[in-house]
Each structure stands twice: as C-alpha cells, then as structure tokens.
C-alpha cells in the first residue's frame, strides 16, 4: 500500500514540490500550473513536446522532462487526467515559434481535456498537434488499434518524438515520426497484486493467491482475464506469444525491448524474466537493440510487469539512440 503521504488530497502538489527540489538542475515548476518544464524550454526554432496524464505512474510523466526529450509534463491527480486549464497553462509556458506536439496515453479523460486545451490554443494561433499512444494489445483487437490504451509504450513514443524535436525537425515531421513510433510499438502486461491509492486501505483490485491478471491497465484496472501463476519462462512465453501475434505492418527483425516493472516487482525478478524473453527473441530471429529492464511506467505499488517491443528501422533507431538528459532516463 502507499504509506508515505501527509494529506492525501495534497499528494500531487507535494510530489511535484519534492520532484523539482530534487531535480532542479533539469526541470522547474510551471508557475501557476500542475506541471514541470525543462530548464532549456522553450527553444527557438524547435517543437515543444508536451506529455502528461495522471500522477501515480512515475517516472511517467514528469521523469521524462528534460533536454532531448519532453519540454514539459502536465500532471493530474493520482490516476486522473489533468484539467484542460492545466494543460493550457503548461502549453503557454513552453510554446516557442515551431509549434507544440501533445502526446499521451489514449484515455477518455485525457483526450477530452487535452483536446479542449488544443482548441483554445488554436483559437490563439498556436499550432498544436496530438499523437495518442495506443500500444496495449489487450485493450482492443488487431484492426482496431486506434481504440487501444497507452501503457508502457508511452516511453518509446515520447523518446522518439523528443529526439526529433531536439534535432530541429518541423512540427509535421515530429508528428509523423511520433505516429510511426506508436504504430510500431506493442505492449502487454500481467499483474500479481493490485495497487492502493494514498489514504486508502484496500487495493483497487485483488488477485487470488496462485493467480495473475492478464492484460492489466495502469490506472488500477484489473486484467481482461485471470490465469494461474506459472514459472518465469512460461510468463515470458505468454508475453511474447501475445506480442508476436500482433506484429505491425512493415516490421523488420530489429526490436527495442522494454521489460517494465509496475511498482513493486523486484528488479531481480525482472532480470530473471528478461533472461527468458531474450532467449525467446533470439530464437525467433529477432535482433534486440538497447534493451531496458526498469520501472518506466508504473501504477503506484502494483505488483506485475509489462513487456514492450518497438520494431525499429534505419529512421527510428537514431532517434532512440539520440542523447537526452531527464531525471529518470539519460542517453549519451
């Protein structure tokens, strides 16, 4: 359960205050808004990438703000979308002369409020585009990818879009590459125990002993089905069977791989699981590139993990490898 808080109603504000105090060399608070911005934002001639969503998913979303990645992040309350007013204020703080790209997971509350902010900015002559992340294969079948949720694959879309913006690409190009990154990213997760909101004693869902939830969400939603617990090698096969049954069009043999912990799964366990994932990927004839085994998009104290694959090509690989410096992720 979540144990360290003062007043649960102040949880978001206090975490922002502490985050900025710890990482002031990279980020600063957006005045009058529930959000943070990179110390070098906005940059003349460069697109501003704005990401965001509810709190409770660290390092998403504020942890990915900094040079080379996102210009800013808007932070809602725990598992709640930020308001349209907050999105607008953050946008005004970091908008430059090259436009703005919003990118966030495909959840109805986020879509509604970001869209309202985008319309308001458009009325003021600010060019804002949106790329929704839809990587979760459990949330809609093949052929209805636009209905899928965004989970840990958020990171890959943010990273590639941020690298495109940092090198000075136009807004059209940053948008195109973010769309391409999203189209080539697939994720699937399992949960072993639910998460508990600050101030609450009971988890949002429970998992029976000896069972696991398949296809979980990251806002405390249970999975789409329940299965028996099994050894790590069989969990690895389950994750990969699901993802490799939904390979995107035009995919090659090179994949970026992310084994993501959801909040309370031990890193040692993730490495045991990744060993079997790596073995299986090689057996499938796939080349792994820049694997990540880490907590990248969490759900407070949920026990579980997700696996994401991004099918790379010669256009996307340099963006994934491009340098960035953020509180949660540094490259180069």
How large is the angle between the packed helices 84-94 and 108-123, nearest 10 degrees?
Answer: 50
pLDDT, residue 202, reads 87
What one-character-per-residue DSSP string does 16-80 give?
A: HHHHHHHSTTTEEEPTTSSEEEETT-S-TTSPEEEEEEEESSTTTTGGGBSTTSBSEEEEEEETS
Q: Mean pLDDT throughout 40-69? A: 97
Domain-wise residue ranges, the chain: 8-183, 185-319
Query: Mind listing the pLDDT tens digit for each residue in 35-49?
Result: 999 999 999 999 999
Widest CA span in the chain: 56
Q: Mean pLDDT throughout 105-122? A: 97
Query: Mind listing the pLDDT tens digit for each residue in 180-190?
Result: 999 999 999 99
Q: Mean pLDDT throughout 257-273? A: 97
pLDDT, residue 87, reads 98
| CATH architecture for the domain at 185-319 | 2-Layer Sandwich (3.30)
pLDDT, residue 314, reads 97
| Residue 90 pLDDT level (bands cut at 50, 70, 90) | very high
Least confident of 105-109, 214-218, 323-327: 214-218
How large is the angle between the packed helices 154-166 and 171-183, nearest 10 degrees?
Answer: 160
Give the side-chain half-sphere CA count within 13 A for 40: 17
pLDDT at 162 over 90: yes
Q: What is the CATH number of domain 8-183?
A: 3.40.50.10440
Query: Mind listing the pLDDT tens digit for each residue in 203-256?
Result: 888 888 999 999 988 887 777 889 999 999 999 999 999 999 999 998 999 999
Q: How far is CA 318 from CA 153, 156, 216, in A?
A: 18, 13, 31
Tokens of 206: 């429970």
| Residue 1 pLDDT level (bands cut at 50, 70, 90) | low
Q: Cβ distance 220 to 204 under 8 Å?
A: yes
| Residue 310 pLDDT level (bands cut at 50, 70, 90) | very high
- Residues with catalytic function: 219
**With pLDDT > 70 as the criterion, what percentage of the chain qualifies?**
100
pLDDT at 109 over 80: yes
Q: Helix, strand or coil for residue 202?
A: coil
How high is the mean pLDDT of the chain?
95
pLDDT, residue 201, reads 85
């Amino acid at each position: 359960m979540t144990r360290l808080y003062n007043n649960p109603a102040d949880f978001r504000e206090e975490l922002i205050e502490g985050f900025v105090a710890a990482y002031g060399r990279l980020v600063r608070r957006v005045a009058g808004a529930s959000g943070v911005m990179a110390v070098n934002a906005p940059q003349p001639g460069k697109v501003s990438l704005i990401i965001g969503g509810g709190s409770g998913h660290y390092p998403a979303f504020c942890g990915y703000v900094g040079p080379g990645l996102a210009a800013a992040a808007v932070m809602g309350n725990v598992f709640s979308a930020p308001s349209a007013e907050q999105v607008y204020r953050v946008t005004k703080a970091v908008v430059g002369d090259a436009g703005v790209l919003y990118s966030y997971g495909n959840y109805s509350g986020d879509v509604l409020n970001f869209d309202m902010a985008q319309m308001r900015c458009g009325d003021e002559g600010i060019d804002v585009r949106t790329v929704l992340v839809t990587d979760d294969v459990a949330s809609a079948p093949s052929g209805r990818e636009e209905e899928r949720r965004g989970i840990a694959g958020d990171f890959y879309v943010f990273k590639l879009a941020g690298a495109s913006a940092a090198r000075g690409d136009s807004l059209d190009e940053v948008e195109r590459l973010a769309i391409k990154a999203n189209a080539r990213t697939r994720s699937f997760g399992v949960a072993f125990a639910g998460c508990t909101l600050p101030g609450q004693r009971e988890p949002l869902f429970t998992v029976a002993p000896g069972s696991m939830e398949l296809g979980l969400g990251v806002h405390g939603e249970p999975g789409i089905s329940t299965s028996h617990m099994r050894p790590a090698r069989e969990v690895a096969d389950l994750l990969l069977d699901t993802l490799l049954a939904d390979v995107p069009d035009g995919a090659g043999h090179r994949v970026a791989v992310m084994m993501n912990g959801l909040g309370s799964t031990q890193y040692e366990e993730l490495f045991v699981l990744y060993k079997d994932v790596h073995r299986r990927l090689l057996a499938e004839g796939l080349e792994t590139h820049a694997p990540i085994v880490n907590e990248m998009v969490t759900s407070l104290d949920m026990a579980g993990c997700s696996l994401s694959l991004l099918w790379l090509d010669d256009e996307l690989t340099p963006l994934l490898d491009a340098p960035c410096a953020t509180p949660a992720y540094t490259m180069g």
